[in-house]
Structure 1
Amino acid sequence: MSFSKFIGRSLLSSMFVVGGVNEFRNAEKMTGMVDALKEQLPDAVSGPLGTVDSETLVKLNGATMAAAASTLALGILPRLSAAVLAAQMVPVTVAGHPFWKKDGAERQGNWIHFLKNVSLTGGLLLVSATKK
């Protein structure tokens, strides 16, 4: 593993390690977003998810995010780790930054965070598609 790849993966992972730990520790504060997202899902998806409480889903997402980011930073299965993180970004971005439902400054802030997440997802997809 080259030093520059280690630094690049570590920098990319930092947001996910911190975010994952934060989600896990503060899951109760994020359940409203998950509940709102569950209501928008088709029955085929929301049925199985409906049996799991939202706080548990947030904790599971946070733990998975922190673990995948850590393995990505360390170069342990980096392609798989990046793919897991990229897949997680879809519901996280839709639930966390619905700029289309906001107005004014709140819309602008959500738009910026939405684009940040799209950009991070692009970086993760590059890692997941890159061979050693």
Structure 2
Amino acid sequence: MTPIRSLARVMLSGILVVDGARSLAAPDRLAPAAEPVTDRVAPLLRRAVPGVPTDTKTLIRANGAVQFGAGLLLATGRFTRPVALVLAGTLVPGTIIGHPFWTDADPATRVNNQLHFLKNLGLLGGLLLAAADTEGKPGLRWRASHRIGHSQRSVRRAARTARRQARTAVRSAATARRLPG
């Protein structure tokens, strides 16, 4: 991992680690804004995973725990591509819940929420870039197609070798029949 990639990942994950820790420690500050969304998500979660707690504070804590843990993994360079996708997924509800500038009547509040919303969109873009970053190594698609191409060439080479050996064997048998014996 290059120093620039390492620094960028630490910088990108820093806000998510801090926000995740705050959400774990004090979900009450986010509960009033999150409740309308968690009320809609809770029935879906109960259907998908019966018995899972779906109260607003627990969902805020769960989102915070994921942000905290995944942010630390991203900062340390562990499982960076999948972790970046997970973090992108956790950022979406927080952005919609925490910064609904389209509902603000006060112009100052609207501008503030709009700036935070756009900041989160920038973070989302950075996370998507981190999810796509192969660190200069070939991606899975390239490796798979390269492996398939390599296998096809190996099969063609083996077939040519088998044909050549068969022709040699036929010539040897024909020569052996012609020899007096």
Do the two structures share a fold, i.e. TM-score over 0.5? yes
Larger Rg: 2
Q: Distance in 2 between matches of 1:25 and 1:49?
A: 23
Give me the TM-score of the superposition, normalised by structure 1.
0.91
Question: Residue 88 of structure 1 aligns with which residue?
Answer: 90
Q: Per-residue CA shift, 1:54-102, capped at 9, x if unaligned?
A: 0000111111001001000100000011100111111111000000000
Q: Distance in 2 between matches of 1:49 and 1:33?
A: 19
The amino acid across from 1:125 in the alignment is L
Alpha-carbon distance in 1 for matches of 2:57, 2:37: 13
The correspondence of residues 1-132 of structure 1 with structure 2, limited to 5 A, is 1-39=1-39, 41=40, 45-49=41-45, 52-103=54-105, 104-132=107-135
User: CA separation in 1, counterparts of 2:101 and 2:45?
Assistant: 24
CA distance in 2, matches of 1:35, 1:49: 15
In 2, Cα distance between the equivalents of 1:74 and 1:35? 33
SS in 1 for 2:30: helix
Indicate conservation of the 8 Å contact 2:74/2:83, yes or no: yes
Structure 1 residues 24-33 or 117-126, which shifts more? 24-33
* 1:31-62 deviation digits (Å, cap 9, x = unpaired): 112212235x4xxx441347611000011111
Gaps in structure 1 of 5+ consecutive residues = none
- CA RMSD, Structure 1 to Structure 2 (Å): 1.4
Match for 1:20: what amino acid?
G
**Unmatched tracts of structure 2, length 5 or more:** 47-52, 136-181
Identity of aligned residues (%): 37
Conserved 8 A contact 2:21-2:64: yes
Q: Give TM-score scaled by structure 2 length.
A: 0.67
Number of residue pairs aligned between Structure 1 and Structure 2: 128
Q: Distance in 1 between matches of 2:71 and 2:42?
A: 27
Q: Give the ranges of 4+ consecutive aligned residues of structure 1 lying more than 2 Å apart after TM superposition.
A: 48-51
Q: C-alpha distance in 1, partners of 2:4/2:113?
A: 32
- The separation in 1 between residues aligned to 2:99 and 2:45, in whole angstroms, is 21
